[in-house]
Chain A
C-alpha cells in the first residue's frame, strides 16, 4: 500500500491515528468546498457544509468499503448534504433554455478561445460555469475538472449514467454558448 494512497491514511485513521485524517482533509478540501459553493452559492454556507462533510465522513469511515474511490464517496456525502440543505431551504435549481450550438460551432469556439490569454480564459470559464444551473456546474466540475467517470458521478449524484451523459453534453454546449456571447459582447464593446 503506497503512502500516497487514500486507503493508507484511511487505515491509519481506523487504527486510531486521528491525525492521519488531516491528510485527507488537505487533499480534498478544495474540491469539497468548491462543490458545496457551486450548489449553495454562499461562501460561509459552503465552508460550513464542507466542514460537516468531513466530520460526517470521519464518523462513517467504518462504512467505507473501498469499492469506489474515496473521493467519489466523499463527494457523494457533500452532494447529498447540499441537496438536502437546498430542499430544506426550498431552493430549486435554476435552469437555462437549451441553446443550440453545433459540434462545428464548438470546434470553432475552442480554436478561438484557446488563442486568448490564459488569465482571460480562466475568468471567462469561471463566469460561464457560474451561469449554468447549480447541478450542471457540479457535473461539469466533476467530469471535466476532477476527471470522475460517468459511473462515479452517478454514484455521487444518484442520477442515471445516460441522464448524466445528456446533462454534461448540454452543459458543455451551454458553456460554449455563454462564452461565445461573452466574447461577442467584449468585441462589440471594444469597437
Chain B
C-alpha cells in the first residue's frame, strides 16, 4: 500500500458501513436452526447396513445347513412330535388330493415340522432386520436429495 492508498484508507475507515434491519441476526438464526434439523437427518448419510453382506451370507449358509441337517439326520423324530399346524393340514390333505400329491405334501410338511421353533425365530428376526435395513437405506437416499448444494 503506497502513501496515497494509506491516506485514502484513513478516510474510508471513518465511513460507517450500512447495516441490515434490527432482527436480521434472529431471522438468519431461525433459518439456520431449520437447516440444522435437515442436517441432523443427513446423519443417516453415514449409515452403514445393520447386517453386513458377509454376515448375511453366513446367516443364509447357516440356515441352509440347519435345514439340511434336520432333513438328513432326524426325519423320523419329526413324525413323533405332537402335531402342529403343518401336520394338521397334512393329515387333512389325503382326503382331498390324489395319493401322489399327498405324498409330496407329506414329505414337505414333514420337513417343516422337523425344524425347531428357534429356526423360525431366527428367520423372522433376520427378515425383520433386512426390512429395517432396506427402509433405512431408502430413507438415507431421500434425505440426501433434500440436502442443498
Contacts and interface: CB of A to CB of B under 8 A. Distances in A.
Chain A interface residue bracket vs B: 35 or more
A56 B19 CA distance: 20
B5 interface: yes
A31 interface: yes
A54 B27 CA distance: 11
A5 interface: no
Nearest to A144: B12
A177 interface: no
B15 A50 contact: no
**Max chain B CB contacts within 10 Å: which of A51, A107, A140, A144?**
A144
Interface string A140-151: 110011010000
B32 A126 contact: no
B55 interface: no
A51 B34 CA distance: 13
Interface string B1-21: 000110111111111111111
Interface in A1-54: 18-19, 21-22, 25-26, 29-31, 33-34, 37, 46-47, 50-51, 54
Contacts of A46: 18, 20
Contacts of B14: 118, 121-122, 125
Contacts of B20: 29-30, 33, 46-47, 50
Nearest to B33: A18
B25 A29 contact: yes
B35 interface: yes
B28 interface: yes
Contact of B29 (A21, A56, A110): A21
Interface string A155-187: 000000000000000001001000000000000
Q: Is the interface of B mostly helix, strand, loop or mixed?
A: helix
A114 B9 CA distance: 12
Nearest to A26: B25
A50 B25 CA distance: 10
B24 interface: yes
Contacts of A113: 11
Contacts of A175: 8
Interface of A: 18-19, 21-22, 25-26, 29-31, 33-34, 37, 46-47, 50-51, 54-56, 58-60, 103, 106-107, 110, 113-114, 118, 121-122, 125-126, 129, 140-141, 144-145, 147, 172, 175
Interface of B: 4-5, 7-21, 24-25, 27-29, 31-33, 35-36, 39, 148-149
